[in-house]
Amino acid sequence: MRSTSLLVLIVVLSLQDAAGREIPRPTIPDEFLGTWAPSAEPCKEGDRSAIVLSPKEYAGPIGICGIETVIETPGRDAPIYSARMLCSSSGAQAQKNLIIRPEGSGQMSVGPTFEGLVAHRRCPASVPPAKP
């Protein structure tokens, strides 16, 4: 009986620890706001491969999506973010995921899955203004 209680306590504490590592965020973090592209070429006005991130919106190749939730999870070198989005296209709405993994100053990898991450660089004219 005593060993069963101890086992239950260990399981409960480990589940709390795992859940405690995910931090819900209301918006996309400020360091990711702006226009991002796989290379310098798509930074030109109107290019369809660039993505634009604002606190509560994504605009890019999959359309325009509202950001519903953002979850921060610890990564090896920096936090990794997962955004759940609601996207509208052709009159229908669909849920999409966007993973954001920082790669250094002015760089990140984004995609719907870890296997689908694509390196992006910040477009020069899209650095968000500093907060007062």
For the chain, the domains span: 23-126
Q: What is the pLDDT of residue 128?
A: 54
Over the chain (132 residues), what is each successive 10-residue block's mean pLDDT? 46 47 94 89 75 94 92 93 88 85 92 93 68 48
What is the rounded CA–CA span in Å between residue 85 and residue 100? Answer: 13
Given a contact cutoff of 8 angstroms between Cβ atoms, the answer to whether 36 and 120 are in contact is yes
- Indicate the length of the chain as a whole number: 132
Q: What is the pLDDT of residue 9?
A: 39
Q: What is the pLDDT of residue 88?
A: 81
What is the rounded CA–CA span in Å between residue 39 and residue 42? Answer: 6
pTM of the model: 0.75
What is the rounded CA–CA span in Å between residue 64 and residue 22? Answer: 26
What is the rounded CA–CA span in Å between residue 91 and residue 88? Answer: 6
Enter the tokens of residue 77.
Answer: 């070198």
